């Protein structure tokens, strides 16, 4: 095997390893992206629901303290 053939062989191996590394990095990037989206959704949805539920709850609570609760 000549020196040029060895270089070509090493370049081919390097290209294969580089492609595997790129594929792995893309999978990791997508995992972090979906993880971040899920975290944001899991935090924002309950927070936005609280904006609508809390006033109703507070109104109901204050009415029960004042003795004007619904019966």
**DSSP code of 67?**
T
60 Cβ contact list (under 8 Å, min separation 6)? 69, 70
pLDDT at residue 1 in the model = 75
pLDDT tens-place string over residues 10-64: 999 999 999 999 999 999 999 999 999 999 999 998 998 888 888 888 888 888 8
pLDDT at residue 59 in the model = 87
Q: Is residue 69 over pLDDT 90?
A: no
pLDDT at residue 62 in the model = 87
Delimit the domains of the chain by residue range: 26-53
Two tokens, residue 32: 């972090």
Backbone angles phi, psi at 11, to 5 degrees: -65, -40
pLDDT at residue 68 in the model = 65
């Amino acid at each position: 095997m000549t020196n040029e053939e060895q270089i070509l062989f090493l370049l081919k191996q390097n290209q294969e390893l580089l492609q595997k590394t790129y594929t792995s990095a893309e999978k990791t990037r997508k995992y972090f992206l979906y993880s971040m989206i899920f975290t944001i959704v899991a935090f924002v949805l309950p927070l936005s629901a609280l904006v609508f539920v809390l006033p109703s709850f507070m109104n109901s609570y204050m009415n029960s303290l004042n003795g004007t609760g619904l019966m």
